[in-house]
Structure formats: C-alpha cells, structure tokens
Structure 1
Amino acid sequence: MSVDQAISHYQQLYALGTLSSAHFGIEIEPFSRSGKVGNSSIPIFEESTKVEWLANNVDISVFDAQTDSTQVGAFQLNFITGNNSGEISATFIETRDARILNSARAIKACTFNKDGTQNPPIDYLLRIKIYAFDRGDRNVLPFSVEHIVFLQTGSIPLDASNKNGVGMVQLNFTKAFPMLLSGT
C-alpha cells in the first residue's frame, strides 16, 4: 500500500466519526395512562426531575439470542432457538429529595397490593426509550431503542468510603413484550 492510499483510507475512516458513549438520553413513562402507574404522581415521570440528565450509565442489549446445541459425532453444533428478552440496567444520580428511590417505591406500590397480590401488567408496565445523540447536534439520534418494560429491582449502595459522596441508584428493567415496539 502506498502512502497516498494509506492517507486516503485514513481520511475515509476518520470521516466516519465515532459514537460518544457520554452523549445519551433515557426517557421513562407509563405504558398506559389508564393503569395505576399512569394515574400516580411518580417523580421519575415528571419533566422537572430531568431523568435524562440524571442517568449516569445505561447497559442495553441490542441483540440477545437464545441458543441450544446438539452433539453430532465428535462435533457440537450450535443454533439459535429464539429472540431473548433481557434486562436494561440504568444507574442514576440520586437527587437530594430521593426522587429516583421514591419513584421505585411508588412503582412497586402500583405493582403489588398490600395483601401480597399482584396487579395486572397494565398497572405497572413502562415505556423506556434510550438513545445516543450526536455530540455536535442533540437532535441527531444515530441510535435509539424503545422497549416496554417493568421495574425488576432498585437499589442504592450506601457507602461511607464513597469519595464523592454522591448517591447512585441502580434500576433494572426487564423487557416485557418485545414484539410490541421496534426495539426488539
């Protein structure tokens, strides 16, 4: 390869740019306004909470296949059996008035009754949208996924040795109906 060809390849590669993992957003809202979650005052759904700015990191799976294998002679053959519905993990910076934690508790109250019974999914399902935006233009979304989810876990590690002292809340969501939205 000549120097001129190498420079040309480098320029083409450089022109592709990179996706910044620091430029992302997350939106969470009730799946149905007629369910308990949709009719409750839950801070994480309020615009004033700025949940998209409090998200510190989000782990999402864009492809998660179920697999199986079979033994044929001395060889193991692997194959896909289906499309998995995995988890979405998000860590949020907690506000002084514990909006994220209180939201998780309110969603739990919409999911489970005091007598131990569980409400139907319409009462606790959420719609979550996660997107990466271009660092030069917040309106350009090169990557976006949407899922119908339910809150599976919420926790905060309280740690006296945490140097910056900022509370970080971990929320784990499970994809509920992957076939209903485009983010399967």
Structure 2
Amino acid sequence: MSFRSKTYSFVLSLLVLSFSVSAVTVERVDGLENDTERFSYSIGYNFGRGLEQLVDHVNPSILFASLVSGTQGENPKLSPEEAQEIQQQVISSVQQEQEAGEADRSTGSIVDNYAGKDNVLGSMSDLSSETGRFSYAVGYSFGRGLEQVQDYIDIDFLISSLAAGMDGEDELMSEEEAQEIQQKVMMEIQQQQPAQPQQPQQPAPVQ
C-alpha cells in the first residue's frame, strides 16, 4: 500500500471517530396512517427499491446514519469527488457481476436484522472500506436532498420504508398515490414560503 493510500485510510478512520448521529428505530411498516407517514414512505420506499440490486454493497448502519446526517445539513465526511468516484466504482462492479450472472443477493432481510433496535447508528463501520464509503456517499447525498422537507418527514418511518424497499417488500402505495402525496406536500411548502416582493415596473423610454 502506498503512503498516500495509508494516509487516506488513516484520515477516513479519524473521520469515523468524530461521526455521531442520533439513534433511529427500524420497524416493519404495516400501514400508513397520516400524510407524514405517507410522504415519508413514498420517498423512502422508492429510494430503497433503487438500491435493491446494490444491497450486498451497502452497510445499512452507515447508510441510515449518513442519511440522517445529510438531512441535518452536517458537513460531509467525503468530498464530492470521493463520493462520485466510489459510487461509479460500485455501480460498475455490480454491472459486471450482472453481466457475468454473479449478482445473487446474499444479504438477509434488512428489516428483520434491524427491527426493534433502538440504536442502529451506534456501531459505525470503517469508512476506509468500499462498502462503508459507498453507503455513506449514497445516504448522505439522499439526506441532503431531503434537508428542505425534513419538517414533513418522520425519519424513523422513512428509514423503515427505505429498508422495506431494499428488501423488495410489496409496496403499500401505488405510483399515483405516491405522486399525489408528494405534490400535496410540495404545495404546502410553497404556500408557506414568503411571497416575493414584486419589482416596480420601469417606465417605458420616451421616444
């Protein structure tokens, strides 16, 4: 291993030591009782389904923790270049596995493994590993995209829904229902934003 690689691994290890996030709870999603749950589910489940084929390359603890970190606007532990590089690397690897017929899923049920645990974020793995970096990059990016709507999300419910999507469980909402609740929340957010003052019209130049 080169000096640069050793230094990179050491720096990442130090970053992990300083990375702490409040606990979340993963539970099995059995129903949707209100708009907050429906909105959280529509986002979390769809994102989880997008990761279903990558699940063997994901550390759920790091994924969940980095997602929360992103929603809270914390400083990232990977640079944009590092995040993009690891995502491209893993996706390329998965594509090669699929082409070779080697992409069989070996990971057990994420929901079953994490359900009922009050502190799934307590044990952070080393971000110097490929799985750790990929999980962090994906989760943090997703979380930052939710930063502006975090007041409309139940983070525990969203993460439980994400896990359900990664497990390939049957969805509880149709695509139309998901779009409807997302549009409803977006409209509420827009209505709560202060109106922009109108710019005074400039008089037409005298000919």
Confirm or deny a common fold (TM above 0.5): no
Higher RCO structure (Cα 8 Å, ≥6 apart): 2
> TM-score scaled to structure 2, two decimals?
0.24
Structure having the larger proportion of residues in helix: 2
Give the TM-score taking structure 1 as reference length.
0.26
Q: Which structure's residues are more often strand, by fraction?
A: 1
